[in-house]
A and B are shown apart, each in its own frame.
Chain A
Amino acid sequence: MAKMLPKTDVVIVGSGWAGGIAAAELSKKGYKVVGLERGKAQVREDFIGSKDELRYDSRKVMFQDLSKETLTIRNTTDEVASPNRSNDTNAINGTDTGGSGVHWNGMVYRWLPTDFEMLSKTVEKYGKDMIPKDMTVQDWGIKYDALEPYYDKFEKATGISGEPDPLRPGQRSSDYPTPPQKETEIIRTFTKAAKELGYHPYRIASANLSEAYTNPDGETINGCVYCAFCEAFGCDFGAKADPIATVLATASKTGNYELRNNAYAVRVVHENGKATGIKYVDTETGEEFIQPADLVVVSGFVFSNTRLMLLSEIGKPYNPKDGTGVIGKNLTAHQRNLTHTRVRGFFDEKKFNRYAGTGALGVTMDDFNVEQLDHTKLDFLHGFCLRTSQRGDRPISNNHVPEGTPSWGPEFKEKSLFYANRRIDVQQQNGALPWRENYMDLDPTYRDVFGDPLLRVTSKFHDQDRNIVKYAHQRSKELLEQMGADYITVPDINEDTEFDKTSLSDHTGGGVIMGENPETSAVNNYSQVWDMDNLFVVGASSFPHLGSSNPTATVGTLAYRATEGMIKVLENGGQLIQDGKETAAAK
C-alpha cells in the first residue's frame, strides 16, 4: 500500500526545463510545489573537473539508467518490438536534477510561424492534394505571434547569445539578451562561402553565454570559456544556461519548492475526472508514496509523459488503424541515422582548431526553410536549416576519414590522425512531419523494474523524410565545394534507408499533442489536458510535429505559457479553452 503524504498545491514530475520553469513560476507566486525527480541530486560542484570523454560521452553516465526502464521499438505495426537495451548507440533521455537541460548543447532556435499552422498554411498555399495520404499534419491551436512573448521570456531567463535571422525581420519583440559568441575560422569559412552563394548566414543562438549575465529572476550565468566539454557534460564554469543555474535556483530561493530525488513517478492518481496526485516509488528504499496535490504537472519528457498518461488511463489511446484517440499520436523525431547525419568536408591544406569549441558555437542559415521554398517544385514538404558547429572534437568520438578509407588498420590510423583537425561538417536539421502509423503505445511483452509495461515506439521513414534529407545533403555539398574541401563525404540515403531502431533522438516530439479541440489533440494550447482540467502535460510531448531546428526554446516557450494557465486554474479552476471543447461537441 502506498503511503499517503500531506497535500501540497502542486506536484511536478521532472526537473528539466519544462518542470523547472513550472516550478519557478508557481513557487514565485507563492504556491507550495513538490518536484519529483527519478534521478539523483546534482549541483554545480558535480561538474567541476569533469572533462572526461570516456565517462560522460562514451559511457553516458548522465543519461537515463536503462536497467530500470527503456523503450521498445519497431518499424511497423506487424512487427514485434525489441527493447533499446543500451545508451551506446544514441542516448536520449536525461535523468538527475535538471534533466537533459544540464547536458544539452544549448543551440536555441525559434520555430517558424508556419510551423504552428502547418496544415492550414500548406492547404492555403498548395491545396489539399499536396498533403500525402498518411501524413497526419495539423495546426497547433495557437499562432507564432501569440507565442512570441514566451519565446522572449525563455531567452531572457536563459540569457541567450545571438543575432537575428536576416530572413525573419519583424518577428522579434527584442534583441537577444547577450551578443553572439566569438567567431572561429570554421565559422568564418562557412559564412564566407554561404554569402558567396547568395545565402543569409547568421550565428546560432547559444545558451553557452558570450558574457556573464544576470536574468530577471536574479540568477547569474557566467561567460563561456570555450572549454569544449559541453554536450553530454555539465558545465564546469556555470556558463551554460541550465535548469540548475536558472529556474530551479529561482524556485528554491522562494522557499516554496521541494525537490525530491530518487522519486520515480509511476501513476497520475485521479478520481471522478480530477487528478488528485502522483504515485511514486522512492528508489532508495523501495517504498511507494502518493503525493496529493490540487494541480498536477507531468513534465518528464515525451516518453514518460505519454507513458504516464497510458498507464494512468487518462485520455483515449491513439489507434493508428482508424486514427481515433489521441494519446500516443504524432510521434516525430530528428532521427539519428537520417536527420542527424552530416556532410563532411576534408581539407588537405587547411587545419582548424577543432579541439576547441562549445556546444552551440556555430553559424546557420534558413535559406531552405519551409517559408523560403516553393514546394510545388520539390518532392517534400517543410524545409531545413543548414549549419556548422564547433563543439570541440573529442578524440574517441571523432575519427572521421574520407570515403573509401578503411575503418581500422594502418591506413585508418594514418588518415584519422591527418584529418583530425582538417574538417568542416555541414549539418541539416529538417522539419519532421507526422505519419499515421508513427506512434506510441504500451508494449505487450516487456516490463520495467516496477512491473509496468514499457512504452512501445512504432516508427518508420517515408519518402518525404528521405527526400528532404537527400536534397539538403546536395546543398551542403555545394557549400563545402565553395569552401574548397578536397574530399566531401555525403551519407548514403537511399530508398532502403530505414529508422534503424537504435533509439530515437534527443529531439523527439508528440504523444500528448496540443491542438484546437479534444478530437484531434490531448491538451489545449496551455498544455492543459482536455479531459482533466487540473492536469497539465508539458514538454515536447505537446508538439504536433517537429520544426526544422532544435526544440528546447519551444519547450520553454510552451512551459511559460502553460504556467500562466496553471495559475488561472489554481485561482479559478476550469477548462481554459472552453471553445475548443464546444466546437468538438458540436461536431
Chain B
Amino acid sequence: MADKNTNKPENNGQVADPSRRNFVKNSGIAVGGVAGGALLGGLFTSQFGKKDDKKSSSGADKKPEKRYEEARMFFTRFADFAILEQATERIFPEDKNGPGAIGLGVPYFIDKQLAGPYGNNVKDYRQGPFTNGNGTAADSSLNRGEIIINGLRKMSDESMKRFDAKFDDASEEQQTEILKDFEADKVQLKGISSKAFFKLLRTLTLEGAYCDPLYGGNRDMEGWKMKEYPGSIASYANMIEEKEFIKMDQISLTDYQPK
C-alpha cells in the first residue's frame, strides 16, 4: 500500500488560484456588501502575504524554536505526564508519514485542555445522582481531568504489576498490551470504566494531532500535512469542480483570522 500513499508528483504544490479578484468574482460577494471589505482585506493580506515566511515551514535547516507554551498547566507530577506522552504516542505513533503524538505536541495540548473548561465539564449537566448511564466520560462523577489522572496512574500500576517497570520505561509492546486491555474494559478503574477512559484518551490524542496549532497540538501543521488537509482555506470555489486531487499548502488560523 505504501507506494500508493504519495500524491501524484505532477500535482505537487498545485493550489487553487487564490487571487482576490477571482475569489470575489466566483463567490458572488460584493465587496463592501454584507461580508464587508474588512473581512476580505484581512483574509487575503495575511494569508497570501506570508508565502515566503520560512519560519512557519518545516525545512530541515530550521532552527528549533523555543516553545514557551510547552510547560505543564494541569499536570502537577511529571510522572503522570511521562505516562501520557508514551500512551498518546502508542495511539498515534511516529512513522514514515511523519511525527507521532509527542512530535505533534499532543501531550501539551491535552494538558491545556484538561486545565480549561473541557477538563472541568463546564458545559455538561453535573447534577446527581450519577448512575454512569452510558459509560461516557461525561457520565462519571469525576471530571475529565480527574479521569485522565486516575487512568494514567492505573496504567502505571498495571505496568509495575505485570512487567515490574514504570509504564514509560516498559517496551512499546508492553505499553500497547496495557492500552488494549484498557480499551477492552479488562481493567477495573474507580468512577469510570477503563473503556470509557481509553476512549477519552484516544479522542484527545486525535484532537491534539489535528486541531489548529493555536491549541498547542498539530505542531507546525504537521498533522494536517500528513493528511493533506489544507486547514483554514478561505475558499475552494475555484477548484471544487476539479476531477483530480489537488494538494495545497496549509493555512492556520494565525494566518487566516483578520485582526
The answer, among B131, B183, B211, B239, for a CB contact under 8 Å with A53, is B211
Assess whether B137 is in contact with A355, with CB atoms less than 8 Å apart.
Answer: no
Contact B33 A220 (CB under 8 A): yes
Q: How far is the CA of A501 from the CA of B30 in the complex (A)?
A: 46
Query: How many Å lie between the Cα of A370 and that of B90 in the bound state?
Result: 48
**What is the distance, in angstroms, from A338's C-beta to the closest C-beta of chain B?**
16
Q: Is B229 an interface residue (CB 8 A)?
A: yes
| A residues in contact with B123, CB < 8 Å | 65-67, 86-87
For A454, the closest partner residue in chain B by CB is: B125
Q: How far is the CB of A116 from chain B (nearest CB, A)?
A: 36
B190 to chain A, nearest CB (A): 19
- From 217 to 259 in chain B, residues with beta carbon under 8 angstroms from any chain A beta carbon are 223-224, 226-237, 239-246, 253, 256-258
B4 at the interface (CB under 8 A from A): yes
- Enumerate chain B residues within 8 angstroms of A228, measured Cβ to Cβ: 233, 236
A86 and B35 form a contact (CB under 8 A) = no
Most chain B Cβ neighbours within 10 Å, of A65, A226, A445: A226
Query: How many angstroms from the CA of A351 to the CA of B129 in the assembled complex?
Result: 49
Residues from 472 to 520 in A contacting B, C-beta threshold 8 Å:
500-502
Judge whether B256 and A51 touch: CB under 8 Å. Answer: yes
CA distance A353 to B122 in the complex (A): 37
Q: Determine the residue in chain A with the shortest Cβ distance to B93.
A: A410
Interface members, chain A 540-569 (any B CB < 8 Å): none
Interface centre among B39, B43, B100 (most CB of A within 10 A): B39
B39 close to A48 (CB less than 8 A): yes
A59, B257: Cα distance in complex, Å: 20
Q: Does A396 contact B (CB under 8 A)?
A: yes
Main secondary structure of the interface of B (DSSP, over half): loop
Within 8 A of A (CB), among B134-188: 134, 136-139, 176, 179, 183
B76 at the interface (CB under 8 A from A): no
Taking a contact as CB atoms under 8 Å apart, the answer to whether A417 and B240 are in contact is no
Contact call A223/B243, Cβ cutoff below 8 A? no
One digit per residue, 1 when the CB lies within 8 angstroms of any chain B CB and 0 when it does not, for chain A 28-62 equals: 00000000000000001000110111100011000
> Which A residues, 426 to 440, have Cβ-Cβ distances below 8 Å to chain B?
none
Whether A353 and B245, one on each chain, are in contact in the complex, defined by CB atoms closer than 8 angstroms, is yes
Would A86 and B131 count as touching, CB distance under 8 A?
no
Give the distance in Å from the alpha carbon of A414 to the alpha carbon of B92 in the complex. 10
Using CB atoms, name the residue of chain B closest to A84: B125
A83 touches B (CB below 8 Å): yes
Contact B239 A409 (CB under 8 A): no
> Is the CB–CB distance between A222 and B240 below 8 Å?
no
Please, what's the 1-or-0 string for A381-418, where 1 marks a CB less than 8 Å from any CB in chain B?
Answer: 00000000000111110010000000111100111111
Q: Is B125 touching A356 in the complex (CB atoms < 8 A)?
A: no
Interface string of A318-353 (1 = CB under 8 A from B): 000000000000000000000000000000110111
Bound CA–CA A225/B18 (angstroms): 12
**Contact assessment for B29 and A212 in the assembled complex, using a CB-CB cutoff below 8 Å:** yes
- In contact, B212 and A54 (Cβ under 8 angstroms): yes
A-chain residues with CB within 8 Å of residue B74 when the two chains form the complex:
none
Do the beta carbons of A395 and B35 come within 8 Å of each other? Answer: no
Question: In angstroms, how far is the closest chain A Cβ from the Cβ of B78?
Answer: 25
CB distance A420 to B211 under 8 Å?
A: no
**Given known contacts A49-B258, A409-B91, A420-B227, A237 and B125 CB-to-CB distance under 8 angstroms:** no
Q: Chain B residues near A349 (CB, 8 Å)? A: 4
Shortest distance between the CB of A391 and any CB in chain B (Å): 12
| Cβ-defined contact, A211 with B134, below 8 A | no
Query: Does A409 lie within 8 Å of B90, measured CB to CB?
Result: yes
**In the assembly, what is the distance between CA of A408 and CA of B125, in Å?**
30
Q: Are B235 and A226 in contact (CB under 8 A)?
A: yes
User: Are A501 and B133 within 8 A (Cβ)?
Assistant: yes
Q: Is A238 in contact with B34, judged by CB distance below 8 angstroms?
A: yes
Quick check: A356 and B253 within 8 Å, CB to CB? no
Is residue A265 within 8 Å, beta carbon to beta carbon, of the partner chain?
no
B97 within 8 A of A: yes
Complex alpha-carbon distance, A65 and B30, angstroms = 36
Q: Select A395's contact among B122, B126, B134, B210, beta carbons within 8 Å.
A: B210
- Say yes or no: is A227 at the interface (Cβ < 8 Å to chain B): yes
Whether B233 pairs with A227 at a CB distance below 8 angstroms is yes
Question: Judging by beta carbons under 8 Å apart, are A408 and B28 in contact?
Answer: no
Task: Judge whether B124 is part of the interface by a CB distance below 8 angstroms.
Answer: yes
Min distance, Cβ A538 to any Cβ of chain B, angstroms: 27
For residue A130, CB closer than 8 A to chain B, the reply is no
Check B34–A356 contact: CB distance below 8 A.
Answer: no
Query: What residues of chain A lie closer than 8 Å to B137, measured between beta carbons?
Result: 86, 88
Contact yes or no, A414 B95, CB < 8 A: yes
Given contacts A356-B240, A395-B224, contact A351 B245 (CB under 8 A): yes
- Cα A500 to Cα B136 in complex, Å, equals 12
Q: Mark A73-115, 1 if CB is under 8 A from B, else 0.
A: 1000000101111111100000000000000000000000000
Contacts of B93 in A (CB 8 A): 409-410, 413
A211 to B257, CA, bound (A): 24
> B1–A67 contact, CB under 8 A?
no
**B131 touches which of A80, A188, A245, A416 (Cβ 8 Å):** A80
Q: Mark A205-232, 1 if CB is under 8 A from B, else 0.
A: 0000101100000001011111110000
B157 to chain A, nearest CB (A): 22
Please pick, from B95, B122, B236, the residue contacting A227 in the complex, using a CB distance under 8 A: B236
Give Cα A123–Cα B131 distance, bound, in whole angstroms: 44
Q: Which single member of A222, A356, A413 contacts B33 (CB below 8 Å)? A: A222
- The CA of A415 and the CA of B39, in the complex, are separated in Å by 38
Measured in the bound complex, the distance between the Cα atoms of B35 and A245 in whole Å is: 11
Q: Which residues of A contact B245 (CB under 8 A)?
A: 351-353, 421
Interface string of B24-64 (1 = CB under 8 A from A): 00111110011100010011000000000000000000000
Contact B206 A225 (CB under 8 A): no
Most B-side CB within 10 Å, residue of A211, A348, A351: A351
Task: Assess whether B134 is in contact with A501, with CB atoms less than 8 Å apart.
Answer: yes
Q: Are A395 and B227 in contact (CB under 8 A)?
A: yes
A239 interface contact, C-beta 8 A: yes
B136 near A88: Cβ-Cβ < 8 Å? yes
Please measure, in the bound complex, the distance between the C-alpha atom of A64 and the C-alpha atom of B254, giving whole angstroms. 28
Q: Residue B28 contacts which of A87, A223, A396 (CB distance < 8 angstroms)?
A: A223
* Cα-based distance from A182 to B243 in the complex (angstroms): 13
Q: Is A446 located at the chain interface by the 8 A CB criterion? A: yes
Contact with A along B53-92 (1 / 0, CB 8 A): 0000000000000000000000000000000000000111
Q: Are A410 and B232 in contact (CB under 8 A)?
A: no
Would you call A446 and B27 a contact (CB within 8 A)?
A: no
Asked if A184 is at the interface of the complex by the 8 Å CB criterion, the answer is yes
Contacts of B235 in A (CB 8 A): 225-227
A212 touches B138 (CB 8 A): no
Q: Name the CB-closest residue of A to B38.
A: A48
Assess whether A212 is in contact with B28, with CB atoms less than 8 Å apart. Answer: yes
| Nearest CB in chain A: distance from B21 CB, A | 14
A–B complex contacts, Cβ < 8 Å, 13 sampled: A48-B39, A51-B256, A225-B27, A239-B27, A351-B7, A353-B236, A353-B239, A355-B230, A413-B92, A420-B227, A421-B228, A501-B133, A502-B134
Question: 9 new A-B pairs (CB below 8 Å) besides A89-B136, A222-B27?
Answer: A49-B258, A51-B231, A54-B211, A223-B26, A236-B35, A353-B246, A407-B202, A416-B227, A417-B5
The chain A residues found within 8 Å of chain B, CB to CB, are 44, 48-49, 51-54, 58-59, 65-67, 69-70, 73, 80, 82-89, 182-185, 188, 209, 211-212, 220, 222-228, 236-239, 245, 348-349, 351-353, 355-357, 392-396, 399, 407-410, 413-418, 420-421, 445-447, 500-502
The 7 closest A-B pairs by CB, nearest first: A223-B28, A82-B133, A86-B138, A356-B236, A225-B235, A395-B210, A49-B257
